A and B are shown apart, each in its own frame.
Chain A
Amino acid sequence: MASAAPVAEPQQWQPPAGPAILFEDVSIGFEGKPVLDRISFKLEQGDTRILLGPAGVGKSVLLKLANGLLKPDSGRITVFGEEVSAMREQELFRLRHHIGMVFQEGALFDSLTVRDNVGYQLMEEHVPDEEIDERVKEALRVVELEHTMEKVPSELSGGMRRRVAIARAVVSNPALVLYDSPTGGLDPITSTTIIELVVKQRDVFRRSSLMITHRLQDAFVMAMNRYNEKENRMELLPEGTVDDRTSFLMLNEGKLVFDGSTHDLVHSDDPFISRYIR
């Protein structure tokens, strides 16, 4: 099947060496209420980090900080070596070209068709129409939704909307993808198809990614599987091994309470973490 072919982009952007994301002592609060307190972590290029934590702890806030949608009260955030926490919005637009983002409920533009949603960034860049069609079709093929080009978001199911959101996030071939609860509110079977797409982005397209999930199940599926490009499906890694480029972060009460590998997470004796993962 042709669906494994990477989405064509005239020239592939080469990020500079160094981590994809670096948080140093980042704090933020709203209306006097602290939300994140001195968070530091690193996402190496090509790695996937899964962000866990109870609802309302500030996971979405952390993700929005990473591409400059929110500004921290203190601390430094660098993405591909550029300090997003100090950049003006106009400069950020250029950097965000290399960052794809999948929002919690998809956040598709409800007045636009699927084609215009996925091709939005290309339309804004005045890419010729035929090329947009081509690239949108390719991005939709990756999420297996080529037939929905002319539909509007309200005609799609929750899972389909999430898949279109993934297509929109990766159509410009970003080096980094941020996923905010891509399986939130979906049934287990649909969730697995979404996770399969995330694994495909990780293993086939080699994008760095930061993914929020509240479903531990999804997190372990990501750690224990790899994408088989030939058969075009996800498959389990050999017994007893996990994907060593996938690791975990956990937030609780504003603090980063865990930062480490799948193995360390499973064997942690911290009472909060062991309660969370059991």
Chain B
Amino acid sequence: MPFPTLDRAAKKIVSAVQQYALLSGRSLANLFRKPFYGADIIVQADRIGIGSLPIVILTGFFTGGVLALNSASTLANFGAAAITGELVSLSMIKELGPVLTSLMVSGRNASGMASELGSMMVTEQIDAMRALGTDPLKKLVMPRIVSTIFMMFFLTIISDAVGTLGGAFVSVVLLGQDGSQYFHTAYQSLVFADILQGLVKPIFFGFIIATIGCFYGMTTRGGTQGVGRSTTQAVVVSSVLIIVVDFIISKFMISVFGR
């Protein structure tokens, strides 16, 4: 009996991917169609951006710190502890800033979107909205996508900066390194390709967080239990996708820019 089951599972996945693409595409197309829900975008941006700020700052700071701690001891073996700043800033800006920030925002907001839209779905509020002549893709989904992408971009920059500062704190205060040397190497080593990579990633990750969160929300079935299921799945799927897409972007960037 395994084949029919496999067959059905494959069909289900294909149709889910199709539905997901349709939802994302139609929501984005709505960006250019009236009415424009500016106020809803601001409300969402506030919830996603300002609401996530504390956890992004905390994780950024401690990640930078632990990077400095680890790399300084390894680099010391090669007599290269002087370039701790370079290592911290490169890792933060290219990888850890974007990835950790988006994993945090995913845990907080992909789940939030899935549960909020999911409960609206199971209580027929989404149907009611459509019956009253409002497109939920425009009113609910589009503002979430736009504001998540926008906010992810700035949250990542903040995380990068705070992470570099965290590294500096550890290097200078705990390891007794020279502060100006730390910042000098941190700054000198960066080239355009690194910055580009670090700023392109959050745009993709923001898109993943919002579309996956909304997709699971808008396809919720089966009452309160269904809402719980959607919430969990949204976090799991968006987190895995973020890591996979991170790999793909890195690979692509390296093949284009050579680093």
Chain A contact residues: helix, strand, loop or mixed: mixed
Instruction: Give the shortest distance, in Å, between A89 (CB) and chain B (any CB).
Output: 7
Contact, CB under 8 Å: B124 / A93: no
Is B132 close to A, CB under 8 A?
yes
Q: How many A-B residue pairs have CB under 8 A?
A: 50
Would you call A96 and B133 a contact (CB within 8 A)?
yes
Number of A interface residues in the complex (CB < 8 A): 22
Q: Which of B127, B133, B134, B135 has a CB less than 8 Å from the CB of A103?
A: B127
Q: How far is the CA of A94 from the CA of B135 in the complex (A)?
A: 11
Bitwise, B36-60 to A at CB < 8 A (1) or not (0) is 0000000000000000000000000
- Taking CB atoms and an 8 Å cut-off, the chain A residues in 146-196 that contact chain B are 168
- B131–A96 touching, CB < 8 Å: yes
B residues 111-161 in Cβ contact with A at 8 Å: 123-125, 127-135
Interface stretch of the complex, out of A6-14, A105-113, A198-206, A240-248: A105-113
The CA-CA distance from A67 to B130 in the complex, in Å, is 10
A67 to B128, CA, bound (A): 11
Q: Are A121 and B133 in contact (CB under 8 A)?
A: yes
CB distance B135 to A104 under 8 Å? no
Q: What's the tally of chain B residues with a CB closer than 8 Å to chain A?
A: 13
Contacts of A99 in B (CB 8 A): 131
Partner of B132, one of A96, A105, A110: A96
* B123 adjacent to A107 (CB under 8 Å): yes
Docked pose: A58 CA to B35 CA in angstroms: 35
Q: CA of A120 to CA of B123 in the docked complex: distance in angstroms? A: 17
Contacts of B133 in A (CB 8 A): 93-94, 96-97, 121, 124
Establish whether residues B124 and A124, one from each chain, have CB atoms under 8 Å apart when the complex forms.
no
Q: Is the CB of B123 within 8 A of A69?
A: no
For residue A109, which residues in chain B have a CB less than 8 angstroms away from its CB? 125, 128-129
| A36 is an interface residue with CB less than 8 A from chain B | no
A203 to B251 Cα, complex, angstroms: 70
Answer yes or no: A255 CB below 8 A from chain B CBs: no
Shortest Cβ distance from residue A109 to the other chain B in the assembled complex, whole angstroms: 6
- List the A side residues contacting B35 at CB < 8 Å: 124
List of B residues within 8 angstroms of A110 by Cβ: 123, 125
Interface string of B168-183 (1 = CB under 8 A from A): 0000000000000000
Residues of chain A with a CB closer than 8 A to B125's CB = 107-110
Chain B residue nearest to A64 in the complex (CB): B127
Whole-angstrom CA separation of A121 from B129 in the bound complex: 9
**Complex formed: what's the CA distance from A82 to B128 in Å?**
21
> For the complex, is A101 an interface residue (Cβ under 8 Å from B)?
yes
- What is the minimal beta-carbon distance from B187 to any residue of chain A, in angstroms? 46
| B127 and A107 within 8 A (CB) | yes
Chain A nearest CB, measured from B118 CB (Å)? 13
Contact B131 A101 (CB under 8 A): yes
Contact with B along A100-143 (1 / 0, CB 8 A): 01011101111000000000110010000000000000000000
B123 and A105 form a contact (CB under 8 A): yes
CB distance from A15 to the nearest CB of B (A): 17
For B132, the chain A residues whose CB sits under 8 A away are: 96, 120-121, 124, 168
User: Cβ of A103: which chain B residues have Cβ within 8 Å of it?
Assistant: 124, 127-128, 131
CB distance from A31 to the nearest CB of B (A): 9
A67 neighbours in B (Cβ, 8 Å): 131
A69 and B134 form a contact (CB under 8 A): no
A132 CB, min distance to chain B CBs, angstroms: 14
A93 contacts B128, CB within 8 Å?
Answer: no
Q: Are B124 and A107 in contact (CB under 8 A)?
A: yes
Interface residues of A in 67-108 (CB under 8 A from B): 67, 69, 89-90, 93-94, 96-97, 99, 101, 103-105, 107-108
Q: Which residues of B contact A64 (CB under 8 A)?
A: 127
Partner of B131, one of A69, A105, A108, A124: A69
Q: Which residues in B have their C-beta under 8 angstroms from that of A89?
A: 130, 135
Within 8 Å CB of A94, what residues of B? 133
Q: Which residue of A lies closest to B131 (CB)?
A: A101
Measured CA separation A110–B127 after assembly (Å): 14
Min distance, Cβ A93 to any Cβ of chain B, angstroms: 4
A186–B83 Cα distance when bound, in Å, is 72
Question: B222 CB to closest chain A CB, in angstroms?
Answer: 12
Q: State whether A124 touches B123 (Cβ < 8 A).
A: no
Report A-chain residues with C-beta under 8 Å of the C-beta of B127.
Answer: 64, 69, 103, 107
State the CA gap A105–B123 with chains docked (Å): 7
Q: Report Cα–Cα, A104/B128, bound state, in Å.
A: 11
Chain A neighbourhood of B131, CB < 8 A: 67, 69, 96, 99, 101, 103
Interface set of B (CB-CB < 8 Å, partner A): 35, 123-125, 127-135
7 contacts between A and B (CB under 8 A): A93-B135, A96-B133, A97-B133, A107-B123, A107-B125, A109-B125, A120-B132
Supply 14 further A-B pairs (C-beta < 8 A) apart from A96-B131, A103-B124: A69-B127, A69-B131, A94-B133, A96-B130, A99-B131, A101-B128, A103-B128, A107-B123, A107-B127, A108-B125, A120-B134, A121-B132, A124-B133, A124-B134
